[in-house]
């Protein structure tokens, strides 16, 4: 109950705001079939059948009924009939948006975000109800016990971000430490699966694979080298109607992956006319720059519609040299450490320290000389060279993308609607990679050989090619395609049934040229000639590793850097789904409703590729192929238990269960329960409990085991380790138990005030993870990872030397130029079911609107406070709370905003706050607050013309300093190196 005691000091609640969303206005009459009954259900039906967006609060319609409407009517005509005598009025605030409210408040209408000149931001911070089903439930209408947030298109645009992905990652509930382009480029994402610089979402910091992402309520294929997350960057922003975020586990509704929550991106269903959007932006410090073009075209007719969307965009790269916090790994100028590496140019000759017996760099090769006439006296023990490992690297890639979306729907009978949609996205990323490094093995056969000690024994040189080879560009391509055909039927007794067939494919490819080929490098250093290569050192020249300036022959460098890798990953999902919902039986407090359904899904995953890194000719990589079939069935019941004095439900219980059977590892059954209680008209209390699970990915199960050498930060500098990597066919699912307690309050004396609070807790068991891989920067220095680290000292231990030689000789070990004596540890970073993760915290949100300065002022707040983020890496290890540590979720993230609107003008200011951190040594890193500004204008005489100016990070605040082992002066998982960014958007519709 500690979580509840901590939350007791928080403010209580915001009310649930109901919004009915379809898409733009229908001028011509549509054939409507709306039965008599509760007004809210009639409005649901009208929104669905007309394609209009109807917005209203639950309090305004509760207890009201409406007559039947049959025949051809415009939306306005139908509303006149439905609202007659109800005390409500409908105000059209845009070509596709209607606000329904009490007559007494209609004199000063408060339109929601849409296309009208006045657009208050309440929907950006309060819960919203889908027009047909709440995200997190298969039952139409009613109250949801789960915390839910909804952001419409206008709210996303006001954020100042050019994509859905970047806008969502700015929310307090998200943690951008994994599966984002910035953390991939800077190597802060230890998972390493984001091979195409994609961007996904990560609720609560539980991992992108623990957040289920849906498009129009349906699963899509995964991206990355494991297919474990959804790439949101290929979704056209102009096609997005709204984004719904369920902040609760939901495997009882959706199945696997819905552990941390669900993000449902709802795309526009229809439009009538043509809309053009142009957006351009730039960082005030120069790079990066952005440009975006969006085109929306649609037509409506009686009972049907067609929508076509195209969006293209370009964002230039941000190089490490363009920002002071990333230009050099020597962080002493900020008060930190020298994080430059000893794999340097000029190189460092490796030897055994006579005092410690540890092998490492001992003699730096002198700079400024050609390496031709060096003598032992030119070397000084302990004087080493250092080079920034990320010198010349892009910390944000150049991104170009083209996306399209097509949707069509047609009512073929008064009770049946058919629909189909397709989405295609292509994205290309180009990023300069860090300089290549190698451990060079040099013998007297090299004509430039020299030993600081005068020995003729072979020697190792820790070497960086930063001084002689350019940074190699990496080209990454992501191609996604989804297609769906669906049917929705209105059945007798107010039942609905629906089904769909869906196909989704994600193909990620990568090409990296100009890398080091170790086989040719060995020849160029004086090793034995390999006739199968085109290189011959005696003819083409030897590589001189002793030079202190760029002096090697271009032909030799070209041969050495002729290596390349190409990779291809393809993930496909085939889905067939059928469900129905409607009233089951009558209770004294109202109707009990039931939803039932089933789903069959087939998942396929394949990898392929070629490499020319260590062989005399290109070789195919070991392919990974896997597939599985998933069969699922679910049921959900919602029953009102008590009613208030006016007969409205005051206490409502919801129960859900889903069973899934996987062809490759077993089955899982997950229940969930929810309770909503309204002790007063203005107060709503809610609670949920449920179990969730995440299935291992096909790559987790099928990937080939291999060993690979990498360099990691150690206690006294960079250390060479051998890693064990690959899949684990014995993996089982990870499971989690979650609960939430929340309150929503709208005081009757201040009807424009909405407050909300939710306490949450999630406990993972048998978590699928690579504990060591998730913290590579500290794995050698943090005692918690000791079970995954085997220390070695091959220079003094014969047993250690024999072990590492055995591993190097193993066929599953990837070729390396590092000698056995150079390795300091073996680190196991394979996937395992291990340990426990417990996360708890508090969400607070609220909004308040009032008339001010001749317009409308709205204040809003959204914050997440984490109490615990406790890890138990192995069953025998102690729990460690890492919340508020670097590379982990912060204790507090908050966003406060003030928006003012008056006629054609709008102005807004928002503050984004992230609390301070502590690094593994306990050193405190400052908190960080940035401010965003936005201003908008809509032409009075032409509402289809509007301009919007946004400025992110108004005062150009740099991220707080962190002495990162990665060599950056900030934490890439929480800081943004771009700085102030200004964007201007023009929208024109006809």
Q: Which residue has the higher pLDDT, 89 or 893?
A: 893
How would residue 113 be classed by pLDDT, with cut points 50, 70 and 90? very low
- Report pLDDT digits (tens) over 116-139: 333 333 333 222 333 345 577 888
Percentage of the chain beyond pLDDT 90 is 50
Has residue 907 got a pLDDT over 90? yes
How would residue 25 be classed by pLDDT, with cut points 50, 70 and 90? very low
How would residue 373 be classed by pLDDT, with cut points 50, 70 and 90? confident
Angle between helices 39-50 and 75-83 (to 10 degrees): 170
- 210 secondary structure, DSSP code: G
How would residue 874 be classed by pLDDT, with cut points 50, 70 and 90? confident
pLDDT of residue 16: 27
pLDDT of residue 120: 32
pLDDT of residue 103: 59
Report the chain's mean pLDDT, rounded to a whole number: 85
Has residue 115 got a pLDDT over 70? no
Has residue 461 got a pLDDT over 70? yes
pLDDT of residue 51: 65
Q: Please give the average per-residue pLDDT across 795-811, as a whole number.
A: 88
* Closest CA relative to residue 810, chosen from 936, 707, 660, 913: 707
pLDDT of residue 96: 56
Instruction: Answer yes or no: are the C-beta atoms of 899 and 857 closer than 8 Å.
Output: yes
* Sheet strands (E) in 107-249: 128-129, 148-152, 211-215, 218-219, 240-246
Kindly give, in sequence order, each residue whose CB lies less than 8 Å from that of residue 558, ignoring residues fewer than 6 positions away.
Answer: none
- Report pLDDT digits (tens) over 760-778: 999 988 888 777 776 777 8
| Cβ-based burial of 98 (10 A; exposed 0-12, middle 13-18, buried ≥19) | buried
Q: Minimum mean pLDDT among 118-127, 381-390, 488-497: which range?
A: 118-127
Q: Please give the average per-residue pLDDT across 638-645, as a whole number.
A: 87
Q: Round to whole Å and give the CA distance between 313 and 427.
A: 9
* Closest CA relative to residue 14, chosen from 124, 133, 89: 124
How would residue 28 be classed by pLDDT, with cut points 50, 70 and 90? low
Q: Which residue has the higher pLDDT, 129 or 322?
A: 322
Query: Domain 148-284+302-319+396-433+475-514+566-696+733-768+833-989 - what CATH class?
Result: mainly beta
Has residue 659 got a pLDDT over 90? yes
pLDDT of residue 766: 86
Does the domain made of 30-102+119-126 have the CATH classification 3.55.50.30?
A: yes
- Report pLDDT digits (tens) over 267-292: 998 888 999 999 999 999 988 999 99
Has residue 20 got a pLDDT over 50? no
pLDDT of residue 674: 94
Q: Round to whole Å and give the CA distance between 879 and 876.
A: 9
Q: Please give the average per-residue pLDDT across 884-899, as a whole number.
A: 92
User: Domain extents for the chain?
Assistant: 30-102+119-126, 148-284+302-319+396-433+475-514+566-696+733-768+833-989, 348-384+436-470+518-561, 706-730+780-828
Q: Please give the average per-residue pLDDT across 649-664, as a whole number.
A: 91
How would residue 809 be classed by pLDDT, with cut points 50, 70 and 90? confident
Greatest alpha-carbon span in the chain: 103
Q: Round to whole Å and give the CA distance between 929 and 959.
A: 9
* Kind and range of the H or E run holding 79: helix 75-83
pLDDT of residue 92: 67
| Cβ-based burial of 422 (10 A; exposed 0-12, middle 13-18, buried ≥19) | middle
pLDDT of residue 356: 66
Has residue 150 got a pLDDT over 70? yes
Has residue 22 got a pLDDT over 60? no
Has residue 440 got a pLDDT over 80? yes
Q: Minimum mean pLDDT among 387-401, 780-794, 839-853: which range?
A: 780-794
Q: Minimum mean pLDDT among 110-124, 220-234, 796-810: which range?
A: 110-124
Percent of the chain that is helix, strand, coil (3-state, to 5): 15, 50, 40
Q: Please give the average per-residue pLDDT across 501-514, as a whole number.
A: 95
pLDDT of residue 7: 43
pLDDT of residue 93: 55
DSSP per-residue string spanning 87-126: TEEEEEEETTEEEEEEGGGTTS----SSSSS----GGGTS
pLDDT of residue 133: 55
Kindly give, in sequence order, each residue whose CB lies less than 8 Å from that of residue 900, ignoring residues fewer than 6 positions away.
Answer: 852, 853, 855, 856, 857, 858, 906, 907, 908
Has residue 689 got a pLDDT over 80? yes
Has residue 316 got a pLDDT over 90? yes
Task: Name beta bridge partners: 59.
Answer: none
pLDDT of residue 760: 96
Q: Please give the average per-residue pLDDT across 606-629, as a whole number.
A: 89
How would residue 109 be classed by pLDDT, with cut points 50, 70 and 90? very low
- Report pLDDT digits (tens) over 175-219: 987 878 888 888 887 777 888 888 888 999 888 888 999 999 999
As given in the structure block, the two tokens for residue 404 are 């399209």
As given in the structure block, the two tokens for residue 623 are 């392919």
Q: What is the number of alpha carbons within 13 Å of residue 960 lying toward its C-beta? A: 18
pLDDT of residue 97: 64
Q: Minimum mean pLDDT among 135-144, 443-452, 759-768: which range?
A: 135-144
Are the folds of 30-102+119-126 and 148-284+302-319+396-433+475-514+566-696+733-768+833-989 the same? no
pLDDT of residue 763: 93
Q: Round to whole Å and give the CA distance between 981 and 448.
A: 51
pLDDT of residue 58: 64
**Predicted structure pTM score:** 0.81
């Amino acid at each position: 109950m500690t979580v509840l005691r901590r939350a007791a000091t928080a403010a209580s609640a915001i009310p649930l705001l109901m919004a009915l969303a379809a898409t733009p206005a229908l001028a011509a009459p549509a054939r409507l079939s709306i039965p008599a009954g509760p007004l809210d259900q009639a409005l649901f039906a009208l929104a669905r059948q007309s394609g209009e967006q109807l917005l209203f609060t639950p309090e305004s319609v509760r207890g009201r009924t409406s007559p039947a409407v049959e025949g051809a009517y415009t939306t306005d005509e139908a509303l006149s009939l439905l609202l007659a005598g109800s005390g409500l009025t409908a105000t059209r605030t845009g070509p596709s948006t209607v606000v329904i409210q009490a007559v007494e408040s209609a004199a000063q209408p408060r339109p929601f975000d849409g296309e009208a000149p006045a657009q208050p931001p309440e929907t950006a911070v309060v819960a919203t109800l889908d027009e047909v089903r709440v995200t997190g439930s298969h039952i139409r209408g009613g109250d949801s016990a789960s915390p839910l947030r909804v952001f419409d298109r206008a709210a996303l645009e006001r954020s100042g971000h050019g994509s859905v992905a970047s806008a969502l990652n700015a929310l307090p509930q998200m943690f951008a430490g994994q599966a984002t382009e910035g953390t991939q480029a800077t190597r802060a994402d230890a998972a390493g699966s984001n091979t195409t610089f994609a961007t996904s979402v990560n609720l609560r910091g539980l991992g992108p694979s623990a957040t289920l992402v849906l498009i129009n309520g349906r699963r899509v294929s995964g991206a990355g080298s494991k297919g474990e997350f959804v790439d949101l960057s290929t979704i056209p922003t102009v096609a997005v109607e709204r984004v719904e975020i369920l902040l609760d586990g939901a495997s009882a509704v959706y199945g696997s992956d819905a552990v941390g929550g669900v993000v449902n991106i709802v795309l526009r269903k229809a439009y009538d006319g043509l809309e053009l959007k142009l957006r351009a932006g730039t960082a005030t410090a120069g790079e990066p720059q952005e440009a975006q073009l969006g085109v929306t075209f649609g037509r409506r007719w009686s009972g049907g519609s067609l929508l076509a969307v195209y969006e293209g965009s370009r964002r230039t790269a941000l190089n490490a040299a363009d920002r002071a916090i990333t230009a050099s790994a020597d962080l002493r100028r900020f008060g930190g450490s020298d994080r430059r590496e000893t794999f340097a140019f000029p190189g460092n000759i490796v030897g055994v320290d006579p005092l410690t017996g540890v092998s490492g760099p001992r003699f730096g090769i002198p700079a400024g000389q050609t390496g031709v006439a060096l003598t032992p006296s030119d070397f000084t023990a302990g004087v080493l060279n250092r080079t920034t490992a990320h010198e010349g690297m892009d910390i944000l890639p150049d991104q170009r993308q083209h996306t399209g979306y097509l949707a069509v729907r047609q009512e073929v009978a008064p009770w049946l609607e058919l629909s189909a949609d397709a989405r295609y996205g292509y994205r290309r990323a180009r990023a300069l990679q860090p300089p290549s490094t190698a451990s060079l093995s040099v013998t007297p056969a090299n004509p430039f050989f020299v030993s600081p000690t005068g020995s003729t024994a072979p020697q190792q040189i820790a070497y960086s090619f930063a001084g002689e080879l350019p940074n190699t560009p990496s080209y990454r391509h992501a191609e996604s395609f989804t297609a769906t055909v669906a049917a929705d039927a209105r059945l007798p007794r107010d039942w609905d049934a629906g089904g769909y067939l869906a196909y989704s494919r994600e193909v990620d490819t990568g090409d990296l040229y100009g890398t080091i080929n170790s086989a040719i490098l060995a020849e160029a250093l004086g090793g034995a000639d390999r006739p199968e290569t085109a290189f011959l050192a005696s003819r083409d020249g030897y590589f001189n590793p002793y030079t202190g300036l760029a002096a090697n022959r271009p032909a030799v460098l070209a041969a050495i850097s002729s290596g390349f890798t190409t990779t291809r990953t393809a993930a496909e999902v085939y889905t067939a789904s059928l469900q129905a919902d409607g009233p089951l039986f009558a209770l004294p407090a109202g109707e009990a409703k039931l939803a039932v359904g089933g789903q069959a899904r087939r998942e396929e995953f394949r990898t392929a590729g070629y490499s020319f890194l260590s062989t005399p000719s290109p070789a195919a990589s070991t392919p990974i192929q896997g597939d599985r079939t998933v069969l699922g069935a679910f049921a959900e019941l919602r029953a009102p238990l008590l009613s208030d004095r006016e007969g409205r439900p005051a206490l409502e219980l919801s129960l859900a269960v889903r069973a899934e059977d996987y062809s490759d590892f077993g089955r899982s059954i997950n229940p969930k329960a929810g309770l909503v209680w309204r002790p007063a008209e203005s107060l709503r209390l809610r609670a949920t409990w449920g179990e969730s699970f995440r299935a291992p990915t096909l790559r987790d199960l099928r990937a080939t085991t291999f060993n690979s050498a990498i360099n990691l930060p150690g206690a006294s500098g960079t250390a060479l380790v051998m890693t064990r990597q690959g899949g684990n066919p014995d993996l089982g699912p990870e499971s989690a138990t979650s609960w939430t307690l929340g309150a929503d309050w709208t005081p009757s004396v201040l009807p424009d005030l909405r407050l909300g609070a939710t306490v949450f807790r999630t406990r993972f068991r048998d978590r699928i993870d690579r504990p060591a891989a998730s913290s590579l920067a500290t794995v050698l220095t943090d005692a918690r990872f000791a079970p995954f680290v085997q220390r070695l000292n091959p220079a003094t231990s014969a047993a250690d030397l024999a072990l590492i030689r055995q591993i190097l000789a193993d066929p599953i070990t990837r070729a390396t130029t590092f000698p056995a004596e150079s390795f300091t540890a073996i680190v196991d970073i394979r996937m395992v079911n291990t340990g426990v993760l417990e996360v708890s915290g508090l969400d607070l949100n609220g909004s308040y609107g009032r008339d001010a300065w001749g317009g409308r002022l709205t204040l809003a707040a959204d914050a997440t406070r984490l109490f615990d983020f406790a890890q138990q890496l192995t069953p025998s290890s102690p729990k460690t709370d890492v919340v508020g540590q670097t590379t982990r979720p912060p204790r507090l993230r908050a966003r406060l905003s003030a928006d003012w609107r008056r006629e054609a003008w709008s102005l807004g200011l928002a503050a984004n706050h992230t609390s301070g951190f502590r690094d593994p040594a306990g050193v405190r890193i400052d908190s960080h607050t940035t401010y965003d500004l936005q201003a908008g204008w809509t032409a009075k005489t032409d509402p289809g013309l509007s301009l919007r100016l946004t400025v992110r990070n108004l005062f150009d605040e740099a991220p707080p300093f962190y002495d990162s082992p990665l060599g950056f002066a900030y934490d890439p998982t929480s800081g943004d190196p771009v700085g102030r960014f200004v964007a201007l958007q023009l929208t024109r519709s006809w």
